[in-house]
Amino acid sequence: MKKELLLAHLRNIPDFPKPGIQFKDVSTLFKNPLCIREMLDEMVSLYKDKGITKVVGIESRGFVMGAILAAELGAGFVMCRKIGKLPGNTRKMSYGKEYGEDTIEIHTDAFSPTDVVLIHDDLLATGGSMKAAIDLVDSFGVRDIYVNFIIELRMEGLKGREFLGNRADITTLLTLFE
């Protein structure tokens, strides 16, 4: 994979959304057709032999690559959304954040017991949101769960990968140390 191409197009925005955060802005990857193709080809090569039947995208940056990857893999696409956005009956999972709590949900009819699920998001930081998504998908009783991120942040005090445990096999396209 051409990591340099992706790194050259990833934008860092300091102090967003608050002082001290280095925000990794994937919109500059998404707007570049070569970067989309590079990410997609890599993700397809990682997952084409895994028998994936559903890709779950985490709102909202996980929807972009998640949906086109689903099409490439011949899988269905499922939205994991913040509470109150999905119109049908849903199953919910709450998780702790730095300040307060958040809840995500998925439609109750999203999976069947034979599904092999890939959950995708843009970035792994603390792992809090992905852990909640894994637990939520796991509660449906699917056959297997894989997890993919475009970016994994590895910094002092960030133990996202460890926090996710070993329920799901995890891959990331880029690992950043700052």
Which one of 6, 52, 65, 160 is in contact with ligand AMP (CB under 6 A)? 160
Residue list 69-98, contact with ligand AMP (CB under 6 A): none
Task: Give the side-chain half-sphere CA count within 13 A for 89.
Answer: 2
Shortest separation between residue 88's beta carbon and ligand AMP, angstroms: 23
> What is d(CA 135, CA 175) in angstroms, rounded to the nearest whole number?
24
Closest CA to 132 of 152, 104, 163: 104
Residue listed under structure tokens 């970035």:
123
61 labelled catalytic = yes
Dist. CA 136–CA 145, nearest whole Å: 11
For the bound state, the minimum distance from the C-beta of residue 176 to ligand AMP, rounded and expressed in Å, comes to 9
Is the preceding omega at residue 17 within 30 degrees of 0, hence cis? yes
Q: Does 152 bind ligand AMP (CB under 6 A)?
A: no
Of residues 70, 124, 173, 174, which one binds ligand AMP by CB under 6 A? Answer: 124
Q: Which of 35, 43, 66, 127 binds ligand AMP (CB under 6 A)?
A: 127
Decide: is 103 part of the binding site for ligand AMP (CB under 6 A).
no
Decide: is 126 part of the binding site for ligand AMP (CB under 6 A): yes
What is the H or E stretch that residue 151 is in? strand 144-153
Q: Which of 37, 81, 91, 98 is catalytic?
A: 98
Quickly list H helices, the chain. Answer: 3-9, 27-30, 33-47, 61-73, 128-138, 160-164
Q: Which of 23, 30, 36, 68 binds ligand AMP (CB under 6 A)?
A: 23
24 is a contact residue toward ligand AMP (CB under 6 A): yes
Could you list the residues that contact ligand AMP (CB under 6 A)? 21-24, 61, 121-130, 160
Q: Which residues are catalytic?
A: 61, 98
